[in-house]
Amino acid sequence: MWDDLEHNYGPATDVPGWLADCASDDAETARAALGELDAAVYHQGGWICSAAPATLPFLADLAAGRAVHHRPQIVELIRDLVHEAGTVEPKWVDKAWPAALEQAFPRLITLIDDPDPEVRREATRLLSRAGLPQPAVTAAIRRRWQVEQDRITRWDLIAALGVLLERHRDAADIRALLHDLLDDPDVQTGLAATHALARTEPDLPPARVPQLLAAIRDPGLAAWTGSAWFSKSITPRTGRLLHHDPVASARFAVAVGGDSGLRQAAALLAEWRAVAPSVHDFLLGRLADDDAGIRFQAAGLLACVPYPAAADALAALAGNHTADGDAAVWGLARLGDPRCLTPIRERLAGPRLGFGPNPGFCTTRPGEWHGFEMPSVDEALIPLAAHAATLVPAVRVGSSHALCRLLGAWGAASAPAAPQLVALLGRPNLEATAATALGDIGPAAADAAAADLRRHAALPAAAWAYWRVTGDPELALAALTPATNQQELRKLGALGPLAAAEADRLRQLTKDRSDWVRTEAAYAHYRVTADPSVAVATLTEVARPLAEGVCAPVMTAALGYLAAIGPAAEPAHPIARAVLDSPKRLAYFGGWHVFEEDERLQAAAITLLSPIPPGPIGIA
């Protein structure tokens, strides 16, 4: 039988051996077999393989007592499979799964009464998954609630009752029970009830901040590590209950303090544009913390949301060649404080840069924060263009794309570093970035770079850069006229009227399936023709979701281009007003990029609505 079944890594012939070893008397043998089985049959989910239905009855036997060790983890694996089957599209669920689950269910529901409380706790999560017979599940959880004596298991049963109430909102008896538990003498029981009711009453937690804080400060909080639902995450998940209320969230962050308070404050700042001043003061106070990790996070957050009152404290940290010092240096740079320049020169010239080598991107949901990470060196230092003449002599490009981009962004002031960029033109993985940087430096790089750029003109970036440093467009036009990707379309647009012959092709590309191609083609069409009509129509369409609070990087670029077009982009004014009116930050990426993206959007919206038009298009 097993020969005909498959799991994540191929034929399921190895499954019987793993199942047998899961029942081993030796704990390590059983642990290793369960790990192999989990990886093969479930791993990270995405489908229910054909081996899963055949494995399920054996897992049920193991969970019910055949296994000597790790029974809670076996129940967790069953729960993962049940959850996945109820989540993915039906086409990804093996056709034998529904019947296998129906047959196994009578054994699974008995786990709620298992002698081992850890098994019972995992069973509350398993039985709360969609795809199981709801009347029987509801009856079992209600019945178990009446007899359960284990404190932690009762909290997990409360969590399960919250899920049942979310599915059956008219279950008045469950709602009444949970409300009665809110002020239970055991504050942790009240905390569990708050979490359960928050699923259907999101305004309840902000009204109970004092009770939530009492529970978080209570020594009994440590017992949550035994919960199958919350484990060590109870404090941050409690904070997330408040994310939609910035006042309550701020109170919670400041009162909780420590690392948990920092994470709450970070999530709050990343979601809301305006927060209570107490949050900034809280971060300022953490700059003197004994824990270097807390100082690093606090300094980074004060850089994300510049706070002038923190300047002196940041300057005191900036001399440290440690992570907290790096974050403090960036914080000073974001404030425009010249005390950042000396430590930045030291980092650029020394063995330890202190900034990221490349941009790092992540996504987070509102109310979540996965930790602060330093920006890349170009992201951090591009805004210091006014001080480029002071900083450029310290730059050692090496093989860094980020430093190439930084020099390019600083423009003509980076001319002394042009020979370093020229030396990279023969390096396949770096030459496009180096050539683009030379082009951005412009005529000031002509003596150092013109001849080498001409030799490498088969590379579109080098051909474009040759035009930028010499003023001769012939090679650039030849290299870029077939451009269809966003980077080359951007360079083609920079040629302005010199590329007027490409206008019709660019107009056609505004109908491309890729929003990035459409966006770059539309703005390039405007730059080569000076006719805003095609660009405004396309860019407004791309940017429109911003008005509904939906953000993607291409929308941010589109709004920026509309701002550059100026008064002719009036059809996009409602989008700009919505961007400025939003109380929440608009961004696609998480981490510090939340703040940078939102700042760019607000700046573009302000420019777009300004009665003063931007400068001429020019050839740049």
446 and 364 fall within a common domain: no
Q: What average pLDDT does the segment 159-181 reach? A: 96
- Which pLDDT value is given to residue 614? 67
- Quick one: pLDDT band at residue 619, thresholds 50, 70, 90? very low
Residue with token string 């930084």: 406
Measured CA distances, 78 to 41, 58, 165 (Å): 10, 11, 23
Using alpha carbons, select from 56, 60, 16 the residue that is nearest to residue 36: 16
Provide mean pLDDT across the span 301-308. Answer: 94
- Identify which of 73, 50, 70, 62 has the alpha carbon closest to the alpha carbon of residue 19: 62
pLDDT (0 to 100) of residue 297: 95
Does the model's pTM come out above 0.85?
A: yes
Alpha-carbon distance of 19 to 57, in angstroms, equals: 11
**Residue 98: pLDDT above 90?**
yes
End position of a domain, from candidates 240, 263, 292: 240
Give the DSSP H/E element, type plus range, for residue 554.
helix 553-565
Verify that 535 and 601 share a domain, yes or no.
Answer: yes
219 shares a domain with 92: yes
pLDDT band for position 142 (cuts 50, 70, 90): very high
Domain that holds residue 434: 395-480
Confidence at residue 16, expressed as pLDDT on a 0 to 100 scale: 93
CATH code of residue 101: 1.25.10.10
Mean pLDDT in the chain? 95
* Residue pLDDT, tens place only, 311-352: 999 999 999 999 999 999 999 999 999 999 999 999 999 999
pLDDT above 90 for 271: yes
**Token couple for 88:** 């993915």
CA atoms of 220 and 96, how far apart (whole Å): 45
CA distance 302 to 330: 9
The reply to whether 127 and 224 lie within a common domain is yes
What mean pLDDT is predicted for residues 288-314? 95
- Do the Cβ atoms of 404 and 414 come closer than 8 Å? no
Hey, is 10 helix, strand or coil?
strand
Q: How far apart are CA 300 and CA 324, in angstroms?
A: 8
Question: Is residue 596 predicted with pLDDT exceeding 60?
Answer: yes
Q: Which of 212, 240, 268 is the last residue of a domain?
A: 240
pLDDT (0 to 100) of residue 497: 96
Partnered with residue 376 across adjacent β-strands are: 356
User: Within 10 Å of residue 544's Cβ, how many Cβ atoms?
Assistant: 16
Q: How confident is the model at residue 293 (pLDDT cuts 50, 70, 90)?
A: very high
Nearest to 418 by CA among 452, 375, 386: 452
* Residue 615, pLDDT score: 63
Do residues 311 and 337 make contact, with C-beta atoms less than 8 angstroms apart?
yes
Q: Is the pLDDT of residue 239 over 60?
A: yes
pLDDT of 612 reads 73
pLDDT at 611 over 90: no
Residue 435 and residue 518 in one domain: no
Kindly state whether residues 347 and 423 are assigned to the same domain: no
Q: Are residues 43 and 180 in the same domain?
A: yes
Q: Please state, in angstroms and rounded to a whole number, the distance separating the CA atoms of residues 380 and 410.
A: 12
What's the pLDDT at 365? 77
- Which tokens in the block code for residue 60? 């049920």
Residues 196, 335: one domain?
Answer: no
Output the CA–CA distances (angstroms, integers) from residue 295 to 249, 259, 285, 291, 592, in the order listed. Answer: 21, 10, 9, 6, 16
Q: Where does the pLDDT of residue 483 fall: very low under 50, low under 70, confident under 90, or very high at 90 and above? A: confident
Name residue 211's amino acid.
Answer: Q
CA contacts within 13 A on the Cβ side of 67: 27
Which of 480, 500, 526 finishes a domain? 480
Q: Give 353-386 pLDDT, tens digit per residue.
A: 999 888 888 887 777 787 789 999 999 999 999 9
- Three-state DSSP state, 168: coil
Domain co-membership, 120 together with 11: yes
What is the dihedral angle through the alpha carbons of 461, 464, 469, 471, rounded to the nearest 10 degrees?
A: 170
Distance between first and last Cα of the chain: 68
Q: What is the pLDDT of residue 620?
A: 44
Q: What is the pLDDT of residue 366?
A: 75
DSSP H or E segment with residue 243: none
Specify whether 112 is located in the same domain as 146.
yes
pLDDT tens per residue across span 453-480: 999 999 999 999 999 999 999 999 999 9
Number of structural domains the chain divides into: 4
SS3 letters across 572-597: HHHHHHHHHHCCECCCCCCCCHHHHH
**CA gap 54, 34 in Å, rounded:** 16
CA distance 592 to 327: 12
Per-residue confidence at 616, pLDDT binned at 50, 70, 90? Answer: low
Same domain for 475 and 518, yes or no, is no
The answer on 467 and 485 residing in a single domain is: no
Handedness of CA 215, 218, 224, 225 (dihedral sign): positive
